[in-house]
Amino acid sequence: MKASIEIAGVDAAMVVFEAVVDKHINQQVHVLREMVIAAQPTWLSDAVAAYHTLLVVYDIQRTTYAQVQQFLQSQLEQLQHQKLTNKKATVHEYFVCYDPEFGPDIERVSHVTGLSIDEVIQRHSEETYHVYTIGFAPGFAYLGDVPEALQVARLDTPRTKVPAGSVAVANQQTAIYPRTSPGGWNIIGRVAGWNEQSGLRLKAGDHVRFIPVTMQRFLALESGASS
């Protein structure tokens, strides 16, 4: 597993693995992040895992880049000897209503992919998704991989307002919009009982499953969630 350590800012270093979107590599990034945090270096300010990169923010009053680089190098060496995948990922399950009222793009996705709406729902919900990274907005989790048959490009023109809890797809990724915001992904459904805190419970490396529900069940779950 090759990785390099680079300057990423006035107070930041970046560990860069092979530049591909790959679950195995992404998992290494998450394990490295946990190792860095577990080592509790006094200078550690933040550690952010993305697909193939780990940003490490450090306190320049307590350390130097050279020391951080050396520390990360030794963590990388330990990572090579570590057995991965023995840790069980946390699984989050969400009830999703794929009705066009909540998924205004589901008909378009069906048209573009040549799948029926029922097949779109089936393909989207039969997968267990991996949280590659969280970013863009608080609690916005990039989930993958969307089955190839269901992959659709982003919208040409982003919407100015996507409701919180909307489930969306774009290329090999799927996501839940954590709060009402602009967005350019294809909206295919809505999570029942979602609130603005829900996204913040997701962590990179977790797993996510979507369970299709009818409009009736969705409304029952919504009223249950708000009472």
Enumerate binding residues for other proteins (CB under 8 A): 6-12, 14, 19-21, 33, 45-55, 57, 59-61, 64-65, 133-140, 142, 178-179, 196, 199-200, 203-204
Shortest CB 8 distance to other proteins, Å: 5
| Three-class DSSP category at 166 | strand
Shortest CB 212 distance to other proteins, Å: 27
Q: Which is nearer to other proteins, 139 or 189 (CB)?
A: 139
| Three-class DSSP category at 26 | helix
Q: Where does 114-157 show beta strands of DSSP type E?
A: 129-134, 141-144
The answer to whether 84 touches 27, Cβ cutoff 8 Å, is: yes
138 Cβ contact partners less than 8 Å away, ≥ 6 residues apart: 178, 179, 199, 200
Q: Which is nearer to other proteins, 60 or 221 (CB)?
A: 60
Task: Look up residue 19 and give its two tokens.
Answer: 């530049």
Q: Which is nearer to other proteins, 19 or 91 (CB)?
A: 19
Q: Which is nearer to other proteins, 165 or 199 (CB)?
A: 199
Shortest CB 13 distance to other proteins, Å: 10
Query: What's the gap between Cα 38 and its chain centre?
Result: 22
Shortest CB 116 distance to other proteins, Å: 32
